[in-house]
Structure 1
């Protein structure tokens, strides 16, 4: 199904290790991210590599003076599988070291990066590169060891970020010291700052059956709450007049204490202490996992840094509606016999609180960054959902390559004892099937990329999946009965011809495409066999749900072609809000770029 074919020899692990001993890891990661730049911008057609000989390609810089040469296969979905060891940088006939930053600068006009936006994009890009290139040797873990590691060790070892977006870890606003304290890859647990805020300025919402004050007692303990009460009483204030909420330490120092200094001076906001438990930042950076008591909830807080196309604040406007959306989704899918039967779970955002500034709220509109300064929500932990012998791993880990270039997915397969094809079959049943089911049964589209899905494994074998980030990521099609008032931001109306992008774009292009490249280039499963397995899995899924035949016909998963979404292009258009939650899905696609569906025409082709 590829557009061109050349023999990319999988490099044996021993040879990669030998290379690692002679080439610094810094150079290794310069090559690795240079490969991603060339691959993803070629996939988005911002670059048009010229084939110079079978399997060999070249891209010239905007000024024509530098040439980047490499070997590649073009796999399904215009997926450029580039041999990073083959990348050469040649200027005026002289070969120079591969420098990923110079590559961005050389190609900037072709990538659509103008002179005024280039410095800021480079700042995000350099921060992303440093995430892996500057990791201390003692923090580097081999894929084989990582396959047996615990949930949070895997989480903090991830360095790839979003599989499609190149500058995916900009953290604009963080200092170097902040990164060492609060970045997920640093793996340093920290305590949250707790404040009391006047009740009349707070928006509080919970799902049915959850009381906010009871939740805080469970999360903090009666002793800590008593200490917070004492702080208020000692300052002459009545605890009954306040709500307690957490803030990220950086947000407290850099935003709340500055913008809300008058609120603090006048007692509308009162700092009362720190969390007794320690938390570790997750890949999504503003979500924290409780490392002291893992069964307690995740805490997600406002964090006004620019990271991967968004300023990561959170508003009271969203906090008011997020638990209501979660509650409605839960009421819709809870107890579904199919989802229950395959062990699929969602972890819900059960409570949220947001502070409304009496200074900034009256003069701003919803969506303003000045409304996104002090808010928090609680999401269920996946730990209580584990059965005997089960362990957790972010799905993003399936794309992880260690410092030797060995893929973690290969180590998972090895640990499971399964053949690679059988491992993939089981994985697709845990991931692809429930995501497709939610779209076709309930008309719910999520954002099921690697970081938003947690795999439940048994000895490295995929057993089931847990979906998170419900309230902010869900898109609800149509006008469903009983949908909560005031939550229209989650509703979407899309034409039939693009509803299937919830699988074809969000799953196929955004995650399975890069996974296919890892499997193919490391000799685990060829690209052609991989998409045969996906086609087989989809047909198995369709056959199991004959009552959804009309929906399958309307939103065809085997459609010959589908429209591409250019993730890097969206980020370059606006790095602080690459996607507006109120935009239709149709507004995000590039109508002029149609991708050939890799499962079209494959039904019945797979090996038995």
Structure 2
């Protein structure tokens, strides 16, 4: 299928040329419209194409060309945006616009700080000679490609806020510019160290660090006058150590007798998620995930305290499910990158951590290296690479589309990405957060072969009443009793299948494949209606192949006319339980005649 003309398509032109200010403003307005914080009025309620949209933002009236897409996602051509008040055209800057949004002044200011930081950081990174070129990304895969995806979150307007990083930190610890760094090390009294290692300390460190670095670690203990029997070692992100050691938590280090061992060992480079670090010195060694007390997109980037000790158990549970199900090796091939070891500070041994301010700030999780899950001639492509544009004006996926044809390649990609997650949900009752950074497409010569998922410690859910009869609950070890006594919807156990469906549909469809649908329409004229029809056909075929699961699939309610989805921006402005989600029309629904529900009519009713 031939590419469209970039100049003729507003969204394509924007994707290739917009400034950081334009992108932040566009994504802010798109999120406001999508989450219903601002009502939207369409010129033609029956049209799914580009048209003029009008929407009031407080006392301002805005007008912009755009279109309402599947699941009510909105796309704007930001260069056509204009503001007026009382029919007088105005020039409105970002601070003035934020003041018009719903929410308290303090919440508005916090959002403005994050948006401003995003613009500043994006400008600095774009202008840095250290930023790696995007021209040759098609020759990369795996961890190298992960680090080269610089675009950030395609929906959230605070996609590079990274609050807490100074200008030097941004250059040193960002994947766009980092030349690598060594980890800092601390020694923690063993009574305060929750250790979940697959072997004894010495054996583990020799395997992970090598004999020489393990010796230097032991020598560091002697240098500060402590004994290996009484203290355990913990790696810390160098920014995190400086932040703790010079900030309000410094007194807590002394209170719990936590010792500074200094930097040592291999050099690491940050992934696009910032907290997950790839070994630069020995690329075949584990990826390590460390807490990082900065704010980026939706949250502070520490590690959820309870999830660190549970990480190996959750991975073991998932691996056992996958290994026991031949569908997941034969028809819906799913591979996992397990988290096999963890260490964390815990103030009160024998309890679920989360009460002390150091818990979740001093922790580490080791994840199996990507190369261990690839066969010969296979490549791993992070899912968010699939919907990126290249500086040559072509989509990242263009060589594969050209080689195999758009629809054959797309159908193979959709089946590979969706069906493993769908089968884990429907057949086992396990919800996986398969968002674009955690999902990798395993390819051979550009053809999709399998799905590889990672990052499970705080992104897996199940519901007791929906677990399949042959699928056990996870065994969470010494903390099991406390997990059992906790209320539903707090940790891994949810109230019912609706929550699992929301997790899967949000991450896989609404905030993920929706971006691929946008690219295909803008680049190739492959309409979103056709895209979601392909997805719907795939899910229908799955249902036909598994008549034994029809009742379980019906419990998910995935094809109802409206679905609930997370409100990412609203939570920043109105952080109360009632603002955590909103309803959107579902392009995967069918009406009694079997045709797709015209979501634009429902969208108009919701937004107006």
Bucket of the pairwise TM-score, normalised by the shorter protein: 0.7 to 0.9
Q: Cα distance, 1:105 vs. partner?
A: 3.6
Of 420-429 and 318-327, more deviation after overlay is shown by 318-327
Determine the structure 2 residue equivalent to 1:3.
none
Q: Is residue 2:115 matched to residue 1:114?
A: no
TM-score, with length taken from structure 1: 0.83
Counterpart CA distance in 2 for 1:473 and 1:263 is 29
Could you give the per-residue CA deviations for residues 501-522 of structure 1, whole angstroms, max 9, x where no partner exists? 3443332222122321222122
Counterparts in 2 of 1:364 and 1:212: CA distance versus 1, 3 Å: closer
Query: How far did 1:468 drift?
Result: 0.9
Structure 1 residues 372, 495: CA separation in 2 closer, same or farther (over 3 Å shift)?
closer
Gap regions ≥5 residues in structure 1: 1-8
Aligned equivalent of 1:245: 234
Contact 1:13 1:405 in 2 (8 A): no
1:522 aligned partner: 523
Q: CA 1:49 to 1:316, structure 2 compared with 1: closer, same or farther past 3 Å?
A: closer
Equivalent pair of 1:430/1:465 in contact (CA under 8 Å): yes
- Mapped to 2, the partners of 1:143 and 1:239 lie a distance apart of 46
Distance in 1 separating the partners of 2:145 and 2:95: 30
Distance 1:340 1:36 in 2: 39
**2:47 aligned residue:** none
Give the 3-state SS of the residue equivalent to 2:229 in structure 1.
helix
SS at 1:278 equivalent = strand
Q: Which has the higher mean CA deviation after the structures are superposed, 432-441 or 422-431? A: 422-431
Is 1:182 matched up with 2:173? yes
Distance 2:401 2:264 in 1: 39
Task: Name whichever of 305-314 and 429-438 sits farther off.
Answer: 305-314
Change in Cα spacing, 1:498 to 1:226, as seen in structure 2 (3 Å) is closer
Deviation of residue 534 (structure 1)? 0.6
Question: Distance in 2 between the 1:315 and 1:74 partners?
Answer: 36
Contact kept in structure 2, 1:251 and 1:304, CA below 8 Å:
yes
Q: Aligned equivalents of 1:212 and 1:368: distance in 2?
A: 25
* Separation in structure 2 between the aligned mates of residue 434 and residue 572 of structure 1, nearest angstrom: 36
| Residues 100-157 of structure 1 deviation map (CA, whole Å, 9 limit, x = unaligned) | xx246415434x3432222221121122234444413756778763222243443233
Q: Distance in 2 between matches of 1:596 and 1:315?
A: 32
- Measured in 2, the distance between the counterparts of 1:432 and 1:108 equals 41
- Whether contact under 8 Å (1:189, 1:291) holds in the other structure is yes
Partner of 1:550: 551
Report the equivalent of 1:123.
113
Q: Deviations over 1:396-424 (max 9, x none)?
A: 2223334576532445534xx12222222
1:63 alignment partner, one of 59, 67, 73: 59
**Correspondent of 2:360 among 369, 372, 376:** 372
SS in 1 for 2:569: helix
Match of 1:536 in 2: 537
Among 324, 343, 362, which residue is 1:353 paired with?
343
RMSD across aligned positions (CA): 3.6
Q: Deviations over 1:418-477 (max 9, x none)?
A: 222222211111111011111111111121111111222233332222111112111121
Q: Structure 1 residue 90: deviation in Å? A: 6.1
1:437 and 2:423 aligned: yes
Which whole-Å CA distance do the structure 1 matches of 2:16 and 2:75 have between them?
23
Q: SS of 1:304's equivalent?
A: coil
| Equivalent residue, structure 1, for 2:75 | 81
Distance in 1 of aligned mates of 2:275 and 2:200: 24
Structure 2 counterpart of 1:560: 561
1:299 aligns with 2:285: no
Distance in 1 (CA, whole Å) between partners of 2:103 and 2:4 is: 34
Alignment partner of 2:214 out of 216, 219, 225: 225
Number of residue-to-residue matches in the alignment: 571
Asked if 1:344 corresponds to 2:334, the answer is: yes
2:138 is equivalent to residue 147 of structure 1: yes
Once the two structures are TM-superposed, the CA of residue 316 in structure 1 deviates from its matched residue by: 5.4
Deviations 1:188-235 (A, max 9, x none): 3211112222222211014xx555543321221111111121222244
Q: Does 1:462 align with 2:448?
A: yes
1:12 matched to which residue of 2? 6
How far apart, CA to CA, are the structure 1 residues paired with 2:593 and 2:245? 56
Partner Cα separation in structure 1 for residue 592 and residue 127 of structure 2: 46
The separation in 1 between residues aligned to 2:63 and 2:529, in whole angstroms, is 26
- Which whole-Å deviations, capped at 9, do the CAs of 1:303-352 have from their partners, x for residues lacking one? 11222232222365432222222222222222421111243211111111
Partner of 1:42 in structure 2?
33
CA shift in 2, pair 1:523/1:249, >3 Å: same
CA separation of 1:498 and 1:376: change in aligned 2, threshold 3 A: closer
User: 1:32 maps to what in 2?
Assistant: 23
Distance 2:524 2:385 in 1: 18
User: 2:201 & 2:593 partners in 1: Cα distance?
Assistant: 51
CA contact (8 A) 1:496 1:554 kept: yes
Residue 272 of structure 1 pairs with residue 261 of structure 2: yes
SS of the residue corresponding to residue 176 of structure 2 reads helix
Indicate how the Cα distance of structure 1 residues 129 and 218 shifts in structure 2: closer, same or farther if over 3 A, else same. Answer: same
Unaligned runs of 5+ in 2: 45-49, 484-489, 597-608
Specify the alignment match of 1:450 in structure 2: 436
Secondary structure at the residue paired with 1:240? coil
Distance 1:178 1:412, change over 3 A: farther
Structure 1 residues 14 and 190: CA distance shift in structure 2, 3 A = farther
More deviation, 281-290/166-175: 166-175
Give the C-alpha shift of residue 184 in structure 1: 2.5
